[in-house]
């Protein structure tokens, strides 16, 4: 329940970081100012004894996060892809959170399969291995189908995972509301809405039927993408807590030494993983939103293979066009256009100065334009971007959270493969291709065609709508002129739009 008792949970969170030594390790890795270090020490030390001890064999940060629970582990997975923010040493330590967490037993996994699918695992599988990967939500087993001899991957949710996430999310809600109450200026960041969005994402991840559907849709969207594969879902062996897919051999994308030994080109892979993400986000509006190294492999043929489709992002066509125009503006160093797009989309309040905002964006873009990743401090860049959003009163856009988070993660993955990668150069062909196909004249004709199709579907209802409008207009109560005029104008605009759309469409088709 979302009540004050969650204060105890938050106290134990800070105490756990202090007890495990993670507090000092994180602050050192992020080069935090002395004032913040002293404050953390003063506030954390008295409660140190209340913290969880965790696994003593782990380094401080992963030790604290695994002790606190799955929602905290998710945060650690994101940081593991950002050595430029937390340092190479801590990023390497946090990698264990991706797929090397303590597993649960094979017996528990088989019991879960039998309960969920109503079949005996020993009858369905001729072989069933110990866990080959264990993450925050589930673990994976390698199995052989008794009937066909095919090798499959069987994913099983952790016992009690729903309750553990519910506990963490309730504490996050309490913290978000406390922040909004204590710091009114933070409300533009909409912390409660952010937690609500996170809750929705996690809820989908805890139902493997939804993940199976996402994997199937993602596979259909990307079947023609060269150098990219999605394993096939075995629906007859998938349910709420169990998911079965084709097994794919490959080298983990986070193991640079193994990639080099296998003869894979890491420079090409770094470019490919970023371009694939941008292509899926812009072209399809449906993208893998958890693309850390633990969910990506490189097959023997050099193809990138994606796994774990519990967190998928979706953005509508309008948002895609806005996002593409912003990226394209940065690539062309047209900061005035980037600023205008922010205002047109409503991302910046109308009472702010668009030219001043453009200058602020120039201060973001110019220092990093044309530079390789080794010369860019992402920590400083993110800090300045936060200052810009605060100065111009920009609110958090919950519909963009997954997109922005995934962009940060994917760019971090690409950096780990090739520290000298130039993200603007790599992104340019994908963004330009989308701009050409989705914002040019062809896109206008396509939009008009879709508009005409929508009007045609509602065509049979138009007489009834007109009749209903006329009946309402004939009622004794007079309608104020200010209401009649917009109504007449809306119908006039409807007719004009329909006529113009039809004329243009016929002209294009003729």
pLDDT at 428: 85
pLDDT at 494: 36
pLDDT at 265: 94
Those residues whose C-beta lies under 8 Å from the C-beta of residue 491, and which sit 6 or more positions away, are none
- Over range 35-57, report the average pLDDT: 74
pLDDT at 127: 95
- Over range 119-131, report the average pLDDT: 94
pTM more than 0.75: no
Largest CA distance in the chain: 85
Is 290 known to be catalytic? yes
Confidence of residue 171 (pLDDT cuts 50, 70, 90): confident
Task: State pLDDT tens for residues 433-476.
Answer: 888 777 666 666 666 666 666 666 666 777 777 777 777 776 65
- Over range 221-245, report the average pLDDT: 94
The pair of structure tokens assigned to 98 is: 């991706």
pLDDT at 20 over 60: yes
pLDDT at 129 over 60: yes
The pair of structure tokens assigned to 243 is: 């998911």
pLDDT at 153: 96
Domain limits of the chain?
6-99, 162-204, 250-439, 452-509
pLDDT at 488: 41
155 backbone dihedrals φ, ψ, rounded to 5°: -100, 130
Nearest to 103 by CA among 130, 129, 82: 130
List 207, 290, 308, 334, catalytic entry: 290
- Over range 97-122, report the average pLDDT: 90
Strands of 242-246's sheet, edge to edge? 125-134, 138-145, 151-157, 242-246
pLDDT at 33 over 70: no
Confidence of residue 130 (pLDDT cuts 50, 70, 90): very high
Those residues whose C-beta lies under 8 Å from the C-beta of residue 474, and which sit 6 or more positions away, are none
Task: State pLDDT tens for residues 430-442.
Answer: 888 888 777 666 6
Q: Above pLDDT 90, what percent of the chain?
A: 27
Those residues whose C-beta lies under 8 Å from the C-beta of residue 98, and which sit 6 or more positions away, are 77, 80, 135, 254, 292, 293, 294, 295
pLDDT at 122: 93
Cα 19 to Cα 40: distance, rounded to the nearest angstrom: 12
């Amino acid at each position: 329940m979302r009540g004050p008792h969650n204060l105890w949970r938050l106290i134990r969170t800070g105490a756990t970081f202090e007890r495990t030594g993670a507090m000092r390790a994180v602050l050192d890795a992020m080069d935090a100012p002395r004032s913040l270090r002293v404050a953390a020490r003063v506030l954390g030390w008295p409660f140190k004894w209340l913290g969880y001890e965790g696994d003593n064999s782990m380094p401080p940060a992963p030790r604290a996060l695994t002790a606190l629970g799955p929602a905290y582990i998710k945060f650690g997975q994101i940081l593991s892809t950002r050595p430029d923010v937390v340092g190479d040493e801590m990023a390497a330590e946090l990698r264990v959170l991706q797929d090397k967490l303590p597993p649960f037993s094979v017996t528990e996994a088989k019991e879960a399969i039998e309960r969920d699918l109503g079949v005996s695992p020993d009858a369905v599988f001729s072989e069933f291995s110990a866990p080959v990967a264990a993450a925050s939500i589930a673990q994976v087993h390698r199995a052989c189908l008794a009937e066909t001899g095919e090798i499959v991957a069987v994913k099983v949710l952790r016992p009690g995972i729903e309750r553990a996430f519910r506990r963490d999310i309730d504490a996050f809600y309490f913290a978000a509301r406390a922040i909004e109450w204590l710091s009114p200026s933070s409300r533009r960041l909409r912390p409660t809405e952010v937690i609500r969005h996170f809750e929705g994402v996690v809820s989908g991840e805890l139902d493997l039927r939804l993940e199976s559907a996402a994997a199937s849709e993602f596979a259909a969207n990307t079947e023609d993408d060269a150098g990219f594969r999605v394993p096939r879902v075995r629906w007859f062996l998938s349910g709420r807590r169990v998911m079965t897919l084709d097994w794919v051999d490959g080298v983990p994308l986070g193991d640079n030494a193994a990639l080099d030994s296998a003869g894979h080109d890491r420079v090409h892979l770094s470019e490919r993983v970023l371009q694939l993400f941008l292509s899926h986000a812009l072209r399809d509006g449906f993208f893998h939103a958890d693309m850390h190294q633990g969910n990506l492999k490189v097959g023997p043929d050099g193809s990138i293979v994606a796994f774990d489709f519990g967190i998928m992002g979706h953005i509508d066509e309008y948002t895609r066009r806005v996002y593409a125009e912003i990226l394209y503006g940065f690539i062309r160093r047209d900061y005035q256009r980037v600023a205008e797009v922010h205002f047109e989309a409503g991302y910046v309040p109308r009472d702010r100065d668009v030219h001043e905002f453009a200058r602020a964006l120039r201060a973001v873009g110019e220092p990093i334009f044309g530079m390789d990743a080794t010369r860019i401090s992402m920590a400083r860049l993110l800090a300045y971007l936060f200052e810009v959003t605060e100065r111009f009163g920009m609110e958090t856009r919950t519909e963009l959270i997954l997109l922005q988070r995934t962009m940060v993660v994917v760019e971090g993955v690409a950096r780990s493969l090739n520290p000298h990668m130039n993200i603007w150069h790599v992104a340019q062909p994908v963004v330009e291709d989308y701009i050409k196909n989705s914002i040019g004249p062809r896109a206008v004709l396509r939009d008009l065609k879709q508009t005409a199709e929508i009007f045609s579907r509602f065509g049979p209802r138009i007489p009834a709508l007109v009749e209903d409008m006329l009946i309402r207009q004939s009622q004794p109560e007079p309608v104020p002129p200010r209401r009649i005029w917009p109504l007449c104008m809306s119908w006039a605009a409807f007719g004009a739009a329909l006529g113009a759309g039809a004329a243009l469409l016929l002209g294009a088709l003729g």
